[in-house]
Amino acid sequence: LMHQFIQFKMILEIIPNVTYYKKPVFIHQGHMQWLWDVDGRRYLDLFAGVATVSVGHCHPKVTAAAEKQLRKLWHTTNIYVYSPLHEYVDKLAATLPEPLKVIYLTNSGSEANDLAMLMARLHTGNFDIITLRGSYHGGSPQTMGLTSNSAYKYPIAIGLGCHNTMCPDVFAGPWGGSHCRDSPIQTIRNCSCPQGLCMANDKYIGQLKEVFATSVPSRIAAFFGEPIMGVGGAVQYPKNFLKDTYKLVRERGGVCIADEVQTGFGRTGSHFWGFQGHDIMPDIVTMAKGIANGFPMGAVVTTHEIAASFGRGVHFNTFGGNPVACAIASSVLDTMKEDGTQQISHEMGTYLLMGLSKIRDKYEIIGDVRGKGLQIGVEMVKDKASREPLPPAAMSEIFEDTKDMGVLIGKGGVYGQTFRIKPPMCITKDDADFFLAVFNQALNNYME
């Protein structure tokens, strides 16, 4: 262990941002929902490399597809057509409804969102982009401007491209700006009663109207929103919130962008795409993470109309649509069908939410259990009445303890107060039971 610790310290000097756990976890190998460290300790992976390993670590079928392609062709750029590309775009397009049929392949979610911003601006001729408070849309300088979650911003990104009269009002409500200064951010509180949901919706829609009233009417290029907020802490919106927002944004000449980087590919259980659970049709959909089970890849899908304003030949990307990435992504789509990952996501998600709700009722420090499918958040609080965030040290204690008992989960939320559960979509009921027992034990240990 001492040896590992020294190694870890050395690694940190070279790559300083690998600091998730206080005590290092050296991962050596993975198979489906399991990871092993260098000492042979097995962990149940309920974070999947941040909601990315969609069908399972080193899934044999996907691995075989990768190996086959690696022996045939690695790279050409997409100035040529090759069969993995051709096969893949057909398959991906088939998962999306009309009119979302034009595909641009990238290497990551940030890159996809950068491209979507550019498309929206070129198409509308407008500049401003509206995002939600607590949102995370990427780590590139442009998408960092979109990301409202201050924990992920660098001062350099603040004010990026900001010529925005919206700033003061944008931060008056649950809205984050495309490019604003840091501010105290409030996550939209989840409310489980239908009446509350409607009231909350009116409130937030009212705030959006206010944002519009104080901005130059013709400047809205786009609204960017995840169907369920991921890094923000599995935040769900009031009923019809996205539908009403899309309508208002379109009335102002903006396009609507669904960031499906986390919610796509069946993760929400009920639908293959998260937006399908909201009775909306985005103009642009961005995706990454689960698309290739951990192999770097992303995509933007849009309409012929928007693609036309974007223009042919403007966009070039050396690695986007790489043959190996396409072969893997193609096999991932097949595997999702064969293994029934969306159904697993639905069933195991429902089961976990039920189990977690029981645990919530036992502990004063759980403020909320929410999410859909295998996109789950457990919001930790000082007490249920105040719903103030549980401080980082306490979060960390429970988090490390859970890991020490063999389960890896994630952290998120605007104040880092939400545990996130987004496993590979191949977990079983036994895995869920194991996690529920471990989590319950970790809470017990903390309370003692």
The footprint of ligand PMP (CB under 6 A) covers: 50, 108-110, 113, 136-139, 226, 230-231, 259, 261-262, 288
Give min distance, CB of 140 to ligand PMP, in A.
Answer: 7
Nearer to ligand PMP, 108 or 268 (CB): 108
Nearer to ligand PMP, 115 or 390 (CB): 115
Nearer to ligand PMP, 117 or 380 (CB): 117
Query: What would the two tokens of residue 321 be?
Result: 């649509």
Give min distance, CB of 50 to ligand PMP, in A.
Answer: 6
Sequence length of the chain is: 448
Nearer to ligand PMP, 50 or 122 (CB): 50
Radius of gyration of the chain (CA): 21
Whether 252 contacts 220, CB under 8 Å: yes
Map residue 286 onto helix, strand or coil: strand
Give min distance, CB of 40 to ligand PMP, in A.
Answer: 30
| Cα within 13 Å of Cα(312), Cβ side | 1
Tokens 């191949």 belong to: 426
Nearer to ligand PMP, 113 or 418 (CB): 113
Nearer to ligand PMP, 137 or 219 (CB): 137
Nearer to ligand PMP, 238 or 298 (CB): 298
Give min distance, CB of 106 to ligand PMP, in A.
Answer: 9
Helices (H) and strands (E) in the chain, counts: 14, 15
Distance CA 221, CA 304 (A): 18
Estimate to the nearest angstrom the gap between the alpha carbon of 362 and the chain centroid.
29
| Cα within 13 Å of Cα(178), Cβ side | 25
Give min distance, CB of 262 to ligand PMP, in A.
Answer: 5
Give min distance, CB of 45 to ligand PMP, in A.
Answer: 16
Whether 46 contacts 420, CB under 8 Å: no
Give min distance, CB of 250 to ligand PMP, in A.
Answer: 22
Closest to 390 in 3D by CA, of 371, 406, 368, 422: 368
- Residue 122, phi then psi, degrees to nearest 5: -65, -40
